[in-house]
A and B are shown apart, each in its own frame.
Chain A
C-alpha cells in the first residue's frame, strides 16, 4: 500500500518533508519512531515511516499534497492518549504530529469563544482562562496531556459531561485540511450559520476526514461554587441506586463518578486520601452552580445516600476548583489509571456505555467475565452517564494472557450492546473496536458512513483502516511479534 516502504522512496519522503518543515521537524530513525508505534492502546503497534511536525496550516496543506503525490497514507496525531488505537499508523506512512501547532490564537470573553490550534493541550486553555470567570468545559481525565485537536477528533468526554456535555457541545467551528490539500472552514464564532452542521459532523471523525488545524470553542461561565461529596457504600448496587435516586429527585450533578473496591484500594495505596479500603463502592458526587442553592442539594444527596445504606465520608464546599481538598480528590480520580500501574505492569481500559439503570447488571457481568478468564478487573466509571471503564490488568509479555484479556474485553462490550448501550463513550472506535461496528449499526448505516467519509477522504489516504470496517481487510501489519490478536 505504501510506497514509502522502500529505503529509496523513504529517503525522498524525508527530504521532501524536510523541505516543508525543516529537518528538525521530521523524524525517521527507527529508535525515535518507536515512541510513535502506538498510542494509549498498546495491544496493536505499527511504526510510521516518518513523523512530521508542522507548525502552520500551510505546512499541513503542503504535507498532505506531498502524500497525495507520492501515494503515501497519513494519519494525524496529538498527544497519543487515545485508548483505541485512533492514531495508529496502520500500514506505515506519514504521521502528522500536531503538537507544535500549539498557539491559543484568540480568547474573546465578550463573545464567549476561544480559537486554538490543534496541539494546544486541554489544560493550557483552562490555565489561560484562570481568573477570567470562564472555562472550557470538556475536561477529559487525560487533560494535562491530551490536545484539543485530539479531543475534537474523538469527541472526548470527561467526568463533567453529565451536566456540561461532551466536546461537540462546545465546538463552534473548525478549520479542516482535506486530503486533497483544500481547506474547509465550518461554523465560526457565531451560532446557527446557515447550512448543515458540518462542525457537528466533523467532531468525532477520528481523523478519517482530514486534519483539523484550528478549532473555535465556546467558553462556559465558571460556577459560583460547588459541593463535592464522597459517598461510601457496601456494594456497587446501593451506590448505583443512589445515583438513580439523585436523578429522580430532580438533581443533575456536575459529576457522578464511581470506583469499585479494587480501584479504591489502588488509589488509596497511591495517594493516601483516607479512602476506606474495605468499601464496596465509592461515589464522587459533585453539584455546582449558585452557592445559594447548593446546601439544599448537598443535603438532599446526603439523605439519599443514607437511605441507600451509604455514608458521606467527605463533603467539600468550594468556591473554585483550585482548592487543595478539591484538587486532591479529583487528582485521585483522574490519576486512577496511574494508580493501577502499581497493581499491574500493563492494563487495558475499556470504554463501554450502558443505560445508567443497567449499571448493576453490567458490573455483575464484568465480575463473572473476570472470573471466567481469570483476569483481574478494576472499575472506575462515569456513573451519571452509564459510561464504564473496566480496567483489565495483565502482563503483556504473556501472550496467552493477552488473548484472554481481548476475549474478556470483547464479551464486556458485547453485553453493553445487548443492553442497549455502545462500545465507546469517549475514546472512539479507532482500530480496536472496528469489529463491533456491524453489531451496533446496520449495513445501511455503515454504507452511509462510508459515503460520508468519501466526501472528505475519497481515496482513503487519511487514516486508512480506521473506524469503519472495510471488508477488504488489507491492514498491513508492520511490527509482528507483539500483536495480541491471533
Chain B
C-alpha cells in the first residue's frame, strides 16, 4: 500500500495524506469502519477538530482518517450529580454551552475550543493555565468508551464520581494519542461556574525577581487558579491588547471564586509580591486576558518555520530553564505552578542554533526531573530532535500495553513515544 500524494482523501498531519476520511454517524458505524479497514491492513487515524494533527510523530502506515465529529450528542447530564456523559466528537465550546445552561462548567482549558473535540482534548492531554488550580484532564475523567483496532467497544470507569471497580482505563486512555483505540464516549465531572474572575499582572525586571516571586507564591495566603510566567515577547502578544505592560518577565496570576474571595486575594497578592508594577483585571477584561493566555501558546504561524516545544520539570526549575531561551528568538509561556514551559520560535532562525538550544534545554529539563517534547516543527527539518524527548524506561511497559490492545500496530501508528 502506498501513501496518497494529494489531499483528496484528507490530511493526516506531518505532511501525510489519508487514503480516505470516513465520518461515521454512530458508534456501531464507527466500529464497522474500523473492522472493514483494519481487515485490509489499513491504519486508523482518529480525528476530531483537527487542531493538533501535527502533534506527534509522522504517521507510520498508510490508512484512513476517522472523523468523530458526528458523534456529538450529550448522552446524560445529571447536573445535580455534577457529571456529564457525552459522545467524544462534541466540541469544547458546545459542551460549555450545555453546561452553562445549568450554571456549570468543565474547568479545563484547551485552545480552539470551538473546533477542539473532547475526544481530542483527552487523547492529547491538552491543558492550559487553569491546571494549577483545577488539575489536568486526568482529574476530570471518570468514564471512557473506546473502540479498539479489533472494532470492539471497550469501556472503563463508570458514571459515578467515585468508583474503583476495574482497571483505570479512563486514565490510561487520557493522553494515549489515539494509539490504543478511538475514544467515543466520555464521562466527566463538572463544577459550578465561578462567580468572579480576576488576573493579577505583575512585572519583573530580572529573572531572579520572578523566581523569588514564584517561590513566594507557593506559600502565599492567596490560592491562585493559575500561575503563568511570560517572557517579554509572550507578555507583549498576550498583554498588549489589554493595555498591559510587557516587562522582561511577567507573572500572570489568575483567581476564580466567590466575589469577596477574589477581591480579597487580588488586593492581598499585590502586597505580597515585590513587583515593579502590579495591576489587576477583573470581569470581562479578565476573561479576555484568560482567553489569550489559553490561545496564544497554541497559535501557529506559517509565514516562517516555527518550532514549538513543551518542557516539564520541577516547578522550582522553571525560571532557570526559561532563562536558557533567548527572548529575541523564543516566546515563552510557562504554567509555572505546574512546572510546564511552552515556548515557540518567533522568527526564522538558523536550524543548527535552534537544534543546539533545544538539545541543551532537554538535557537541563531531564536533570530537573522532566523532559522536553517538540510539539511543532517544519517538515523535513530538525530530524535530529526527538519529538517525545529523552526515552524513558517505562516506555517498555507502554509498548507492551500497546501490543495488548493493538497487536498489529494499526491505531495511529508512528505518532507516539518510542514509535508506538
A positions within 8 Å CB-CB of B: 109-112, 133, 154-155, 157, 161-162, 165-166, 168-169, 184-186, 188-198, 200-201, 203-205, 221, 224, 244, 247-248, 250-252, 289-290, 292-293, 296-297, 353-357, 382, 385-387, 420-429, 433, 436-437, 440-442, 444-446, 448-449, 451-456, 467
B369 at the interface (CB under 8 A from A): yes
Return chain A residues, CB-CB under 8 Å to B312.
190-193
CB distance from A333 to the nearest CB of B (A): 17
Residues of A within 8 A of B153 (CB): 442, 444
User: Can you list 23 contacts pairing A with B, beta carbon distance less than 8 Å?
Assistant: A111-B315, A155-B164, A157-B162, A185-B393, A188-B370, A191-B136, A192-B340, A194-B373, A195-B416, A198-B394, A203-B168, A247-B80, A248-B80, A250-B103, A353-B158, A355-B160, A386-B160, A422-B158, A424-B163, A425-B162, A426-B162, A444-B152, A449-B167
Contacts A289-B223, A422-B163, A440-B165 given; indicate if A355 touches B78 (C-beta within 8 A): yes
Contacts of A456 in B (CB 8 A): 397
In the bound complex, what is the Cα–Cα distance between A89 and B134 (angstroms)? 40
* Interface presence of B178 (CB below 8 A): no
Contact status B156-A445, CB under 8 Å? yes
Docked CA distance A461–B171 (Å)? 25
Q: Which residue on B lies nearest to A191, using beta carbons?
A: B338
User: In the complex, are the beta carbons of A292 and B264 less than 8 A apart?
Assistant: yes
Selected from B80, B167, B192, B395, the residue in CB contact (under 8 A) with A201 is B167
Known contacts A224-B223, A386-B81, A445-B155; 13 further A-B pairs (Cβ under 8 A): A190-B371, A194-B388, A195-B395, A195-B418, A196-B172, A201-B401, A290-B261, A293-B257, A355-B78, A356-B80, A382-B162, A427-B164, A453-B167
**What residues of chain A lie closer than 8 Å to B191, measured between beta carbons?**
252
Residues of A within 8 A of B405 (CB): 448, 451
Q: Which residues of B contact A424 (CB under 8 A)?
A: 163-165
A429 to B165, CA, bound (A): 6
- B44 to chain A minimum Cβ distance, whole angstroms, is 17
Q: Closest CB of chain B to A158's CB: distance in Å? A: 10
Q: Are A204's CB and B164's CB within 8 A?
A: yes
B408 within 8 A of A: no
A162 contacts across to B, CB distance below 8 A:
161
Closest 7 CB pairs of A and B: A200-B171, A250-B192, A293-B261, A425-B162, A422-B163, A451-B404, A190-B370
Chain A nearest Cβ from B263, distance in angstroms: 9
* B215 sits at the interface (CB 8 A): yes
Tell me if B161 and A386 are in contact (CB < 8 A): yes
Q: Does B139 contact A (CB under 8 A)?
A: yes
Q: Are B163 and A353 in contact (CB under 8 A)?
A: yes
CA distance A18 to B15 in the complex (A): 61
Cβ–Cβ < 8 Å partners of B404 in chain A: 448, 451-452, 454-455
| Most central of A382, A446, A455 by chain B CB within 10 Å | A455
B29: CB under 8 A from chain A?
Answer: no
State A161–B161 Cα separation when bound (angstroms).
9
Are A353 and B162 in contact (CB-based, < 8 A)? yes
Report how far A448 CA is from B416 CA in the complex, Å: 21
Is residue B125 within 8 Å, beta carbon to beta carbon, of the partner chain? yes
User: Max chain B CB contacts within 10 Å: which of A193, A194, A290, A357?
Assistant: A194
List of B residues within 8 angstroms of A205 by Cβ: 167
Q: Is the CB of A387 within 8 A of B135?
A: no
Q: Which residues of A contact B396 (CB under 8 A)?
A: 184
- Complex Cα distance, B135 from A200, in Å, reads 14
Cross-chain contact A448 with B314 (CB below 8 angstroms): no
* Cβ of A454 to closest chain B Cβ, rounded Å: 7
Q: Which residues of chain B are within 8 angstroms of A252 by Cβ–Cβ distance?
A: 82, 191-192
User: Which residues on the A side are within 8 Å of B148 (C-beta)?
Assistant: 448
What are the residues of chain A within 8 A of B338 when measuring CB–CB?
191
For residue B389, CB closer than 8 A to chain A, the reply is yes
CB interface residues, B 313-344, toward A, < 8 Å: 313-316, 338-340
Say yes or no: A440 contacts B158, CB within 8 Å: yes
Taken residue by residue from 396 to 407, chain B's Cβ proximity to chain A (1 for < 8 Å, 0 otherwise) reads as 111011001100
Q: Does B7 contact A (CB under 8 A)?
A: no
Q: A154 vs B163: C-alpha distance in the bound complex, in angstroms?
A: 11
Nearest Cβ on chain B to A284's Cβ, whole angstroms: 17
User: A292, B83: Cβ atoms under 8 Å?
Assistant: no
Q: Taking the nearest CB of chain A, how far is it from the CB of B398, in angstroms?
A: 5
Which B residue's beta carbon lies closest to that of A428? B164
What residue in chain A is nearest B365 (Cβ atoms)?
A190
Q: Judging by beta carbons under 8 Å apart, are A190 and B313 in contact?
A: yes
Known: A186-B394, A192-B125, A196-B401. A387 touches B162 (CB 8 A): yes
Contact A420 B160 (CB under 8 A): yes
Q: Chain A contacts of B395 at CB under 8 A?
A: 195
Chain B contacts with A in 211-227, Cβ cutoff 8 A: 215, 218-219, 221-223
Q: In the assembly, what is the distance between CA of A324 and CA of B296, in Å?
A: 50
